[in-house]
Copies of this chain bind each other. A is one copy, B any other.
């Protein structure tokens, strides 16, 4: 068998060293580097360096909200699973997801919409002041944008990185073009639950610094 690193701290530190050169020419702040690095680490894909889009107020707004104990609302259970909920709870927050809820399933079926979309609608005004993390479903992000436009819902931060070939790129373009609140996103088809969780956790780990 070959030799390999088994110490989690050493693995993470070595990984960040390998990622650093990909970020060198991007003019990022030390905090922005942390968000970019965690995302690239989660995807194993340095191409994310050129597609991540951080609203200039995203880190400040997200950290302030999380520090004040805001809750996090996710589109799918995988995002919620990937969030460091112990760290979140230290500041008073909890992570919520309704996609597997029986009533949401019923509503989605009745209305012919996705469960992630029905779940976002059901969160409603609870999204005010919260961090919303969407890692899978473009429809959840479209629905959030509609709630912001039509009901003046105002999250503190939107981490919107739905993935795929049907609506994901469009939903994220619309987030960048129209969001009245700060966002973290990636343009194009890529994204996913680990990307959303990585962005959330990057912010959570900053709160200790």
Contact = CB atoms under 8 A, between A and B. Distances in A.
Contacts of A23: none
A165 B44 contact: yes
Interface stretch (A5-13, A24-32, A60-68): A5-13
Interface stretch (A75-83, A87-95, A123-131): A75-83
A117 interface: yes
A152 to B, nearest CB: 15
Given A189-B45, A192-B43, A5 B81 contact: no
A147 to B, nearest CB: 11
Interface residues of A, number: 49
A18 B191 CA distance: 17
B6 A113 contact: yes
A18 B194 contact: no
A4 B45 contact: no
Leading 5 A-B pairs by shortest Cβ distance? A44-B189, A44-B163, A18-B165, A81-B81, A6-B113
14 contacts: A1-B174, A2-B174, A5-B166, A6-B112, A6-B139, A7-B112, A11-B114, A11-B166, A14-B165, A19-B165, A44-B189, A44-B191, A45-B189, A78-B197
Interface of A: 1-2, 4-8, 11, 14-15, 18-19, 41-45, 77-78, 81-82, 112-115, 117, 138-139, 142, 145-146, 149, 163-168, 170-171, 174, 188-194, 197
